[in-house]
Amino acid sequence: MKVNEEYTVKIDKISNLGLGITKIDGLVVFVENACPEDELLIKITKLNKNYANGEIKTIIKPSSHRVEPFCPMQKVCGACQLQFIDYEYQLKIKQEIVKDTLHAIGNIDIKVPFPVKSPEIKEYRCKVQYPVSQTKVSKRILAGYFKPKSHEIVNIKYCPIQPAICDKIIDFVRETATQFDITGYNEKTHSGELRHVVIRYSKYNKKCLVTLVVNTNKSFEKISDLSKLLFENFDEVSGVCINFNNKKSNLIMTDKTKLEAGKDYIEEKLTDKVFKFGANSFFQVNPKSAENIFEYVKEYINNNFTNPTVFDAYAGVTTFGIVVSDVCEKVVSVEECKEAVEWAKKTVNDNKISNIELHNMDAENFFEKELNTTGRKFNITILDPPRKGSTEKTLDNVLKLTTDKIIYVSCNPATLARDLKYLTGKGAKLESIQPFDMFCHTYHIENVAIIDLKDVNK
């Protein structure tokens, strides 16, 4: 096999990164925008010792699951890798990804149910983060997503997976920034004023919180004027903030944010609770699907425990802790982001909840404090770490602090499988796993794993 050679192949399955998989003379070949059962003419673009990459030259016979993407930018944008596959089959693919990943990384074989569908598969994404740049000659402001495997911005005017109002706001920012002579960011030279536009949208009251990320450490007149004009022109915009980020990094936002107009928060309703959160707070991008997850966890706790004590680790604005508080004796929540904890306090007070204990601490420091001073234990720990998963030290401490169950919520099957392998090696048992589709048309899949600790030697 050589680079640029062409081959006729049939796609067998999809990888955990959303690439079609086939084999040529026993060598695995990954193909972008390929669907299982596709018969294709491909060209080899990259050749390694253990695998190769190919690109589609001709679709000889399309899979029965291949559909026309509803977004005209699907191939160039890179955000919705699976949108050319019918939604039901996307879920089947994700089910197989979870099953295969658990087996390959965690050496775990368990029945993986069909993923719970997202209630909405269009306009579901309620957090938009568009990088901003500027053309060299015309000085036109560009805002959109990066092309796959590049930092070249696709100037997106219409995105069907986010609420339509977001397109209008982004377009207004593009046009008005040009009129105000606000420059777009140049990543190579670290110059230009406007780096990102970030929008948080509420399904609950249809309001938006807009954050303009600037390449300075203080506000300036032009960006302040743009913020106020944006607030005045859109009834849907409840507030506009400026985030100051002059770091030479891929970090989107720093912790330094200033309110320029309106309110510095929006509200979202999950189950029967209304949450407040701000520009820097983590909150689920697909609230309707997230609600399915929260109800699933709450129902499990209610059906299997009577007045348990629950530890909500990496709690963010304490969404899990607040939702399940109705069926618990006590919830202890730990989050290192001060802003998130402050919003959690407001939500707890607004919802008149009296059985939640909030801590603004690094989780590891909290573990040490609990183990060395109070000696208390929790019936259940809800563990919802970032994509990188948990450390072995964290898992060891959670095992020491938890008597009955860990409810592990993960957006990354690979790190979940790794952490489950570690926990099962300590005597824990994976009781069940349930995928939820939070990120429609992508290869990402959320999972809730229930882990039984009765046989763990502590």
Residue 375: per-residue pLDDT:
77
Q: Can 80 be counted among the known catalytic residues?
A: no
User: Are the C-beta atoms of residues 382 and 407 closer than 8 Å to each other?
Assistant: yes
Which positions ≥6 away from 23 have C-beta within 8 Å?
A: 12, 29
Residue 150: per-residue pLDDT:
83
Q: How far apart are CA 199 and CA 209, in angstroms?
A: 6
**319 and 407, same domain (yes or no):** yes
Task: Examine residue 88 and state whether it is found in any structural domain, yes or no.
Answer: no
Residue 105: per-residue pLDDT:
96
CA neighbor of 224 nearest in space, from 273, 261, 193, 277:
261
Three-state secondary structure string covering 43-70: EEEEECCCEEEEEEEEEEECCCCECCCC
Domain count across the chain = 3
Tokens linked to 277: 């959160």
**331 and 445, same domain (yes or no):** yes
Task: Examine residue 245 and state whether it is found in any structural domain, yes or no.
Answer: yes
**254 and 182, same domain (yes or no):** yes
Task: Examine residue 281 and state whether it is found in any structural domain, yes or no.
Answer: no
Residue 374: per-residue pLDDT:
75
Strand partners, 57: none
Tens place of pLDDT per residue across the chain (458 aa): 899 999 999 999 999 999 999 999 999 999 999 999 999 999 999 999 999 999 999 999 999 999 999 999 998 887 899 999 999 999 999 999 999 999 999 999 999 999 999 999 999 999 999 999 999 888 999 999 988 778 889 999 999 999 999 999 999 999 999 999 999 999 999 999 999 999 999 999 999 999 999 999 999 999 999 999 999 999 999 999 999 999 999 999 999 999 999 999 999 999 999 999 999 998 999 999 999 999 999 999 999 999 999 999 999 999 999 999 999 999 999 999 999 999 999 999 999 999 999 999 988 889 888 988 877 899 999 999 999 999 999 999 999 999 999 999 999 999 999 999 999 999 999 999 999 999 999 999 999 999 999 989 76
Q: How far apart are CA 22 and CA 77, in angstroms?
A: 24
H or E, element range at 318: none
Length of the chain: 458
Say which DSSP state 135 is in: -
Which positions ≥6 away from 48 have C-beta within 8 Å?
A: none
Residue 148: per-residue pLDDT:
79
User: Residues 35, 71, 159, 411: which is the catalytic one?
Assistant: 411
Task: Examine residue 74 and state whether it is found in any structural domain, yes or no.
Answer: no
- CATH number (domain holding residue 18): 2.40.50.140
**193 and 110, same domain (yes or no):** no
Task: Examine residue 87 and state whether it is found in any structural domain, yes or no.
Answer: no
**301 and 324, same domain (yes or no):** yes
User: Are the C-beta atoms of residues 266 and 127 closer than 8 Å to each other?
Assistant: no
**What letter represents residue 450's amino acid?**
I
- pTM score, whole prediction: 0.94
Task: Examine residue 84 and state whether it is found in any structural domain, yes or no.
Answer: no
Residue 6: per-residue pLDDT:
97
**245 and 312, same domain (yes or no):** no
Q: How far apart are CA 377 and CA 299, in angstroms?
A: 22
Q: Which structural domain range is residue 22 located in? A: 1-66
Q: How far apart are CA 426 and CA 429, in angstroms?
A: 9
- CATH number (domain holding residue 395): 3.40.50.150
- Cα torsion at 230, 231, 234, 237 (round to 10°)? 120
Q: How far apart are CA 380 and CA 359, in angstroms?
A: 17
Residue 458: per-residue pLDDT:
62
**319 and 387, same domain (yes or no):** yes
